[in-house]
Amino acid sequence: MGEFKVHRVRFFNYVPSGIRCVAYNNQSNRLAVSRTDGTVEVYNLSANYFQEKFFPGHESRATEALCWAEGQRLFSAGLNGEIMEYDLQALNIKYAVDAFGGPIWSMAASPSGSQLLVGCEDGSVKLFQITPDKIQFERNFDRQKSRILSLSWHPSGTHIAAGSIDYISVFDVKSGSAVHKMIVDRQYMGVSKRKCIVWGVAFLSDGTVISVDSAGKVQFWDSATGTLVKSHLIANADVQSIAVAEQEDSFVVGTAEGTVFHFQLVPVTSNSSEKQWVRTKPFQHHTHDVRTVAHSPTALISGGTDTHLVIRPLMEKVEVKNYDAALRKITFPHRRLISCSKKRQLLLFQFAHHLELWRLGSTVATGKNGDTLPLSKNADHLLHLKTKGPENIICSCISPCGSWIAYSTVSRFFLYRLNYEHDNISLKRVSKMPPFLRSALQILFSEDSTKLFVASNQGALHIVQLSGGSFKHLHAFQPQSGTVEAMCLLAVSSDGNWLAASGTSAGVHVYNVKQLK
């Protein structure tokens, strides 16, 4: 082993954004997670919880709802009033449709996956038909007085439950009219709160509607009669989310106290068929509000304001105890947010809307293994580069020589040249970017800083020759056989001859840079 100086970098003040919604897809065992800054991430739960896909956020988009529809299609809706579909191959937004109902608070795909339902600020529930390449507005349901905060389909697809402020409505899908209106008690521990917000509803196949509300209650309603069956007071604060297992034998709720409660349907006695819902285990893995929960067949998934994504496996469903059966807490970003320039001891930090360039501190002292050396020169904040526009930065990179910085947003690609004059740094934007370099999913410099590799969202890999203050486009590796597969990971060999790229379909392509093959 060689001798290393270890820098303790404590000046990367990266603040991840909170998790707003999670959506679990049972067929592909994938989990879509949206954050408050509009970012949407897709995790593959079978592949060691790897973050496969990433859609950068946008300042004006606040995702409020996320759902999977038939054929692995991912939709999101937000407070800008638009429904968006994501292209999971090309890793971009396919289209956005305005629902014309004000901010959208909730969205639910029908059990068949062919219809989409959104609940809007103006109290309307809108039904959309999902066509193979778009979504089509079908009709409005009876308009309610206040915003629709939660929606749930009956598994047969004939009825829906919609949670609003102070009441829950049950609609008949065929007629679009409200069948029942169930008023939720405002009382909270004897004190009348102003409003009782129904944060989540779940419609079970036996006609039971489970609601969670801001008074800390989990309530069971009979949708046929519109009556309250049972009420569990579980928290002193809001209960913000609910998710039911596919078998309908358990569900999970998340509270604003950071606790996740598991409810199970257990038989009352061993020899009777009568069953009851019982609150079983509480899990306290969060420090803040649990905004969203999901229930996979083997695990409870929860996420919230504290930005952690917690995957808690259910022990009774796990056959073998292995690494997959352990509790998972995803806190670190899966993407590369830091790049470094070895030559100049520089670090480039990527934030949502700006970049920071730091020079590492240095020391003259020497010491034994494990010693903490005193710094003779503190770390310097050299550069603060803000992006223009509302879009988040997708990726960024600094060249090993430290004289180039490249970053990209969804619509633009930026390349800067850095000039060092003692302690002063001058930055010069390289203008006249070629039109094909509009957006990049991944950027990489070669070891000698003479080549720039850009994975564009069209699936092509571009090689750019950098020399002095200018650049020259060398080559573009086009994706094979016309598929639109986004490359999201790049690696280059140290001699600069070989370039490896991996895409969303989990294949690895190796290119020869010299021969441009």
Partner 1 sequence: MVDEETIRVVRCGGSELNFRRAVFSADSKYIFCVSGDFVKVYSTVTEECVHILHGHRNLVTGIQLNPNNHLQLYSCSLDGTIKLWDYIDGILIKTFIVGCKLHALFTVAQAEDSVFAIVNKEKPDIFQLVSVKLPKSSSQEVEAKELSFVLDYINQSPKCIAFGNEGVYVAAVREFYLSVYFFKKKTTSRFTLSSSRNKKHAKNNFTCVACHPTEDCIASGHMDGKIRLWRNFYDDKKYTYTCLHWHHDMVMDLAFSVTGTSLLSGGCESVLVEWRDATEKNKEFLPRLGATIEHISVSPAGDLFCTSHSDNKIIIIHRNLEASAVIQGLVKDRSIFTGLMIDPRTKALVLNGKPGHLQFYSLQSDKQLYNLDIIQQEYINDYGLIQIELTKAAFGCFGNWLATVEQRQEKETELELQMKLWMYNKKTQGFILNTKINMPHEDCITALCFCNAEKSEQPTLVTASKDGYFKVWILTDDSDIYKKAVGWTCDFVGSYHKYQATNCCFSEDGSLLAVSFEEIVTIWDSVTWELKCTFCQRAGKIRHLCFGRLTCSKYLLGATENGILCCWNLLSCALEWNAKLNVRVMEPDPNSENIAAISQSSVGSDLFVFKPSEPRPLYIQKGISREEVQWGVFVPRDVPESFTSEAYQWLNRSQFYFLTKSQVTAPLKKGSHFLLAEESLPTTPFYFILGKHRQHQDEKLNETLENELVQLPLTENIPAVSELLHTPAHVLPSAAFLCSMFVNSLLLSKETKSAKEIPEDVDMEEEKESEDSDEENDFIEKVQDTNNTGLGEDIIHQLSKSEEKELRKFRKIDYSWIAAL
CB of 232 to partner 1, least distance (A): 6
Q: Which is nearer to partner 1, 258 or 303 (CB)?
A: 258
235 binds partner 1 (CB under 8 A): yes
Contacts of 511 (CB under 8 A, 6+ apart): 461, 477, 498, 499, 500, 501, 517
* Contacts (CB under 8 A) with partner 1, residues 61-80: none
112 binds partner 1 (CB under 8 A): no
Q: Cα separation of 355 and 91, whole Å? A: 23
DSSP SS3 for 150:
strand
DSSP SS3 for 480:
helix
CB of 214 to partner 1, least distance (A): 15
Question: Sign of the C-alpha dihedral, residues 343, 344, 345, 349?
Answer: negative
Q: How long, in residues, is the chain?
A: 517
> Which residue in 216, 258, 361, 503 binds partner 1 (CB under 8 A)?
216
Q: Cα separation of 107 and 118, whole Å? A: 4
Q: Which is nearer to partner 1, 143 or 279 (CB)?
A: 279
Binding piece for partner 1, criterion CB under 8 A, among 24-32, 228-236, 380-388, 504-512: 228-236
**Sheet strands (E) in 110-258:** 115-120, 125-130, 135-140, 150-153, 159-163, 167-172, 178-183, 187-188, 191-192, 198-203, 208-213, 217-222, 227-233, 239-244, 250-255
Binding piece for partner 1, criterion CB under 8 A, among 132-140, 167-175, 273-281, 445-453: 273-281
Q: Where do we find the tokens 């000046």?
A: 11
* Contacts (CB under 8 A) with partner 1, residues 277-306: 278-282
CB of 287 to partner 1, least distance (A): 18
CB of 315 to partner 1, least distance (A): 9
Binding piece for partner 1, criterion CB under 8 A, among 63-71, 265-273, 330-338, 423-431: 265-273
Q: Is 239 exposed, middle or buried (0-12, 13-18, 19+ CB in 10 A)?
A: buried
359 membership: H or E segment, kind and range = strand 354-359
* Contacts (CB under 8 A) with partner 1, residues 366-395: none
Q: Cα separation of 441 and 325, whole Å? A: 33
Q: Which is nearer to partner 1, 237 or 425 (CB)?
A: 237
CB of 314 to partner 1, least distance (A): 10
Q: Cα separation of 123 and 108, whole Å? A: 15
Amino acid at 452: L
CB of 237 to partner 1, least distance (A): 11
233 binds partner 1 (CB under 8 A): yes
| Size, binding site for partner 1 by CB under 8 A | 20
Binding piece for partner 1, criterion CB under 8 A, among 78-86, 111-119, 266-274, 394-402: 266-274
* Contacts (CB under 8 A) with partner 1, residues 162-201: none
Binding piece for partner 1, criterion CB under 8 A, among 112-120, 139-147, 274-282, 305-313: 274-282
CB of 196 to partner 1, least distance (A): 16
Kindly state the tokens that stand for 301: 């998934």
Binding piece for partner 1, criterion CB under 8 A, among 44-52, 142-150, 260-268, 337-345: 260-268
Contact assessment for residue 129 and residue 114, using Cβ atoms and an 8 Å cutoff:
yes
CB of 269 to partner 1, least distance (A): 5
Task: Point out which residues bind partner 1 (CB under 8 A).
Answer: 216, 232-236, 264, 266-271, 276, 278-282, 316
